Every structure is written in C-alpha cells, then in structure tokens.
Amino acid sequence: SKPVKASRLHDVLSDLFSIQGSVSGSRVIENSDEIILLARTLPLRILLVEDNATNQKLARLMLARMGYAADVAGNGIEAIEAVRRQTYDIVLMDMQMPEMDGLEATQKIRRDLPEKTQPRIIAMTANAMQGDRERCLQAGMDDYLSKPIRVGDLVAALQRYRKASASAQSYERQQR
C-alpha cells in the first residue's frame, strides 16, 4: 500500500528475486553463479505468455538472469499463433488474460499441435486458490507456479522439464 516504505519494498524485491526454496524430488540451484549458467546446461526455447507489462518485464528479467531470452505473447490468441510458427520447449502461461485465457489457450494448443511438437506448459497465476492447480493440470498444463514467481520456484520448474524430457526419451527408447 502507498506510501511504500523502503524496508517493505526491499523485502518484497528480496522475496521476488530470492533463489532459496525447495521442491520435493528436485535439487534447487542455490547460488547465483549456477543460475546464470542454467541456460548453458539446460538450453530451452521459452515463450512467456503474459498480458501485464510489469509482469512481463519481471519474468523476462528473471529468465535473462538465468541466461534465457524468451519470446513474449500478450494473450492466449498470440500464444497459439506463436507455437504454430515456432517450436518451444517451455510455455510460461498466465491464467487470466483478455481475449483468451490460459486454460483455453492450453486446451487449443494440446488439441491442435502434433504430440512431438508439444511444449511443456507451466501455469502462472496470482489466484492460488484451492483447486486451481488441478484445473490447470486437467486443461493439459504440465506444471503450476503461483505469483509472485520466485526465482527458485522458476528454476525448479525448468529443472523438472529436464527430468520429464529425460523420462520421455527413455520411454521412447524402450518402445523401439
């Protein structure tokens, strides 16, 4: 609330850019040198779908800190057009957007794209309500992050992509 106290702003920004955190079953990178190197060890093509300009800037800043340059779409319709033009490994999908929300966009992407070109879709929502995660997963999303996004949580979600990708490759080899 306004007027903003410097100490409160510092705390919020520290939380936002915090690299601490844990996710069960996944090692979280704990120092900034490792975060900077993440894009080198885990190269990804990322689409950020976010209608809010401030949230776009913050997410792009976090991703840039990890070494990623994300493409940006401002709503679900733009996201669908983007994934048709370009193959992405990860789509960071805001849930509430004008014209087409994240759930509808995800369902359309899952329905329209060939399975081999399907990106991993990670929901981003400020409404971390009971049942939101389940609705996102039922719509075809692979993961879920609540806003404000913390660097450690984003890093863990990207690392889960590596784990899921390795599992899928192993499964494909077994099927041959």
How far apart are alpha carbons 59 and 39 in whole angstroms?
A: 15
Report residue 101 as tokens: 């929300």
The model's pLDDT over 142-159, given as tens digits with 9 standing for 90+, comes to 999 988 888 889 999 998
Average pLDDT for residues 19-27, to the nearest whole number? 38
Nearest in space to 17 (alpha carbons), one of 170, 154, 172: 154
Average pLDDT for residues 118-131, to the nearest whole number? 84
Strand partners, 144: 123
How far apart are alpha carbons 37 and 65 in whole angstroms?
A: 9
Confidence of residue 27 (pLDDT cuts 50, 70, 90): very low
Phi, psi angles (nearest 5°) of residue 80: -60, -45
First to last CA, the chain: 59
Average pLDDT across the chain, whole number: 81
How far apart are alpha carbons 113 and 140 in whole angstroms?
A: 12
Average pLDDT for residues 21-26, to the nearest whole number? 36
Average pLDDT for residues 7-28, to the nearest whole number? 51
Beta strand 46-49 with 120-125 is: unpaired
Strand partners, 104: none
How far apart are alpha carbons 174 and 176 in whole angstroms?
A: 6
Query: Is residue 41 over pLDDT 50?
Result: yes
Q: What DSSP letter does each residue of 50-75 carry, written as one string?
A: -S-HHHHHHHHHHHHHTT---EEESS
Report residue 37 as tokens: 């190197």
How far apart are alpha carbons 167 and 163 in whole angstroms?
A: 6
Report residue 94 as tokens: 């805001």
Average pLDDT for residues 24-45, to the nearest whole number? 66
Rg from Cα positions in the chain: 16
Average pLDDT for residues 17-32, to the nearest whole number? 43
Lowest-pLDDT range, 6-15, 26-35, 89-98, 110-119? 26-35
Report residue 9 as tokens: 């702003």
